Homo-oligomer: A and B are copies of this chain.
Amino acid sequence: MNIKRAYHQYCGLASALDVLGERWTLLIVRELLLGPRRYSDLLADLPGLGTNLLADRLKFLVDKGVIRQCLSRPAYELTEAGALLRPVVLDLTRWGFGFTPDKSTVDAVRPRWGFLAAETRLRAEWAGDVDEDYEFHVDDEVFRFEVRAGQVQAAAGRAPGQATVVATADAVTLVRLGSGQMTAADALAAGELTISGPTDAVQRCRRLLDLA
C-alpha cells in the first residue's frame, strides 16, 4: 500500500504527476481552493469517488505536504505548497473549457465550479487601487473576490463587511460564460446574470472579470 506507482523520471513534470497525477487528486485540490472543507463535503461534491479512495488521497496529499488538517475545525485545507497550484488549476480549467460540452443531464454541477469558471476570467492587472469586495451568489452558495491594493483573493462565504457589488447567477450560467458558450452581454440581457451595486463599482467588477 505504501509502494505507490511512480514514473521514476528525473523531471519536474513527472514529479508533479507523481503527486497529482492519480485519479481525483487534482479535483480534490480544486475543492479546497476556496477554503477548508470537511471529509463529507468532499465526498458529497465528488460523485463517483469512493470513500476509501478519498481517505487514501487525503492521507497521501497530507503526507506530501499539499494539504493539512485544520487545527481548529475537522476539515482539510491547502498548505502553502498546495495554494501554489491555483494558477495551474486555473490554466488547466481554461484549457479544458475547449472540451467542455454543452450541459448534459448526466453531468454534475456545483456552485463553486461556477465560481471557479468566473475566476478563470479574472484579470488581476485590472484590479484598481480600490478596497472592495464582489460577492457572487451562485445557486444557494456565496463566494467573493476581495480586492485589496491591486491584489485579488477568491474565497468561499460572504464578504467580511458589506459587499460593494453583488452578482447573481446559477452555476451552469457561469460555466457557460467561462467556456465561451455564452457572452456576458447575453447572460445579462437574459437575466441569467445580474450585477448590482454602484455604477462605477459594477464597471470595475465587470472589467476585472472580463464581463464586458
Contacts and interface: CB of A to CB of B under 8 A. Distances in A.
Contact of A96 (B15, B27, B30): B15
Contacts of A116: 11-13
A18 interface: yes
Interface string A83-104: 0110111011111111111011
A172 interface: yes
A81 interface: yes
Interface in A88-132: 88-89, 91-101, 103-104, 106-110, 113, 116-117, 120
Stoichiometry (number of copies): 2
A92 B88 contact: yes
Interface in A109-163: 109-110, 113, 116-117, 120
A73 interface: no
A17 B107 contact: no
Contacts of A189: none
A118 B109 CA distance: 39
9 contacts: A10-B100, A10-B108, A10-B175, A12-B94, A13-B96, A14-B96, A64-B99, A88-B91, A88-B92
Given A13-B116, A19-B99, A81-B98, 13 more contacts: A7-B27, A8-B107, A9-B110, A11-B110, A12-B94, A12-B175, A13-B113, A14-B27, A14-B96, A15-B97, A15-B101, A84-B95, A88-B91
